[in-house]
């Protein structure tokens, strides 16, 4: 008579099956992204999500990618100002310096992604942002309003990206406001040793 396997054996089998499903699912999601997404050397795919409009969002160790139709847009973690998650609407808002910004300096632009269901993307994005942050702080621009300055460095890179998010009501097209922002930025850089 062969003894029946105990509870421990079934738990091990169930754990092994879950592990296989996770590994198979990870490989499946990497192949579903397809060869059209070219990651840099040393860059790894971490997570994939889909939006309600059918666009794919991929998070890697170095950047967030978004695919509309068959074209991928790369947004390095160091260029993102902030990420907000609205759990009621399953909406992730990304404020970032977009790669196609032609004005110098680049001013942040807002992108909103409606994700099908809650997943780990917002938490992962916040963790990746924290890993690129060198310094951040609030500076006064005029008597009533200010700006938030963030210094970030790309993972594995040397260049420091300076992000300036001004409070509502500040007209960045006004030359005196831009001069005040530049002065505040220089003061912040020298205070933090940059």
User: What pLDDT, in 10s, does the model give residues 145-164?
Assistant: 888 888 998 888 888 888 88
pLDDT at 135: 92
The domain boundary, picked from 109, 131, 153, lies at: 131
pLDDT tens, 5-20?
444 444 454 554 454 4
Give me the phi and psi of 166, to 5 degrees please: -90, 155
25: in domain = no
Same domain, 115 and 97: yes
72 and 93 fall within a common domain: yes
Work out the angle at residue 147's Cα, subtended by the Cα atoms of residues 141 and 150, and round it to the nearest 5 degrees: 135
Look up the domain containing 176 and give its range: 133-191
Q: What is the mean pLDDT of residues 71-84?
A: 85
DSSP 48-101: EEEBTTS-EEEEESSEEEEEETTEEEEEEGGGEEEEEEETTTTEEEEEE--TT-
Identify whether residues 155 and 171 lie together within a single domain: yes
If one counts the domains in the chain, the total is 2
Query: Are residues 48 and 126 both part of a single domain?
Result: yes
The answer to whether residue 7 sits within a structural domain is no
pLDDT digits (tens, 9 = 90+) for 28-73: 444 454 446 888 888 999 988 877 776 788 899 999 888 877 778 8
Give the CATH number for residue 126: 2.30.29.30
pLDDT (tens digit, 9 = 90+) per residue, 101-116? Answer: 444 445 556 677 777 6
Confidence of residue 4 (pLDDT cuts 50, 70, 90): very low
Verify that 52 and 107 share a domain, yes or no. yes
One domain, residues 68 and 123: yes
Look at residue 89 and tell me if it is in a domain.
yes
Does residue 101 form part of some domain? yes
User: Among 155, 170, 59, which Cα is nearest to 107's?
Assistant: 170
Q: Is residue 26 a part of any domain in this protein?
A: no
pTM: predicted TM-score of the whole model, two decimal places: 0.66
Mean of pLDDT over the chain:
75
- DSSP code of 107? -
Q: Given this model, what pLDDT does residue 61 score?
A: 93
Q: Is residue 184 part of a domain?
A: yes
Per DSSP, the three-state class of 143 is coil
Domain end position, chosen among 131, 156, 174: 131
Pick from 107, 131, 155: which residue ends a domain?
131
pLDDT value of residue 116: 62
138, 73: one domain = no
In this structure, the strands spanning 91-96 and 109-114 are antiparallel
Same domain, 52 and 121: yes
pLDDT of residue 190: 93
Using the predicted structure, report yes or no on whether residue 137 has a pLDDT greater than 80: yes
Check residue 109 and give its pLDDT: 67
């Amino acid at each position: 008579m062969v003894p029946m396997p105990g509870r421990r054996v079934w738990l091990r089998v169930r754990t092994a099956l879950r592990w296989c499903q996770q590994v198979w699912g990870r490989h499946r999601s990497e192949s579903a992204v397809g060869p059209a997404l070219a990651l840099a050397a040393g860059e790894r795919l971490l997570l994939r999500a889909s939006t309600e409009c059918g666009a794919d969002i991929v998070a890697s160790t170095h950047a967030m990618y978004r695919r509309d139709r068959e074209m991928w847009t790369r947004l390095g973690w160091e260029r993102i100002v902030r990420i907000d998650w609205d759990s009621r609407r399953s909406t992730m808002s990304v404020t970032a310096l977009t790669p196609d910004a032609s004005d110098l300096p680049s001013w942040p632009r807002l992108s909103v992604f409606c994700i099908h269901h809650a997943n780990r993307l917002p938490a992962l994005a916040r963790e990746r942002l924290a890993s690129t942050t060198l310094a951040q702080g609030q500076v006064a621009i005029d008597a009533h309003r200010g700006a938030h300055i963030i210094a970030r460095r790309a993972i594995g890179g040397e260049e420091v990206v300076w992000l300036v998010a001004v409070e509502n009501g500040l007209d960045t097209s006004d030359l005196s406001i831009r001069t005040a922002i530049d002065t505040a930025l220089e003061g912040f850089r020298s205070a933090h040793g940059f």
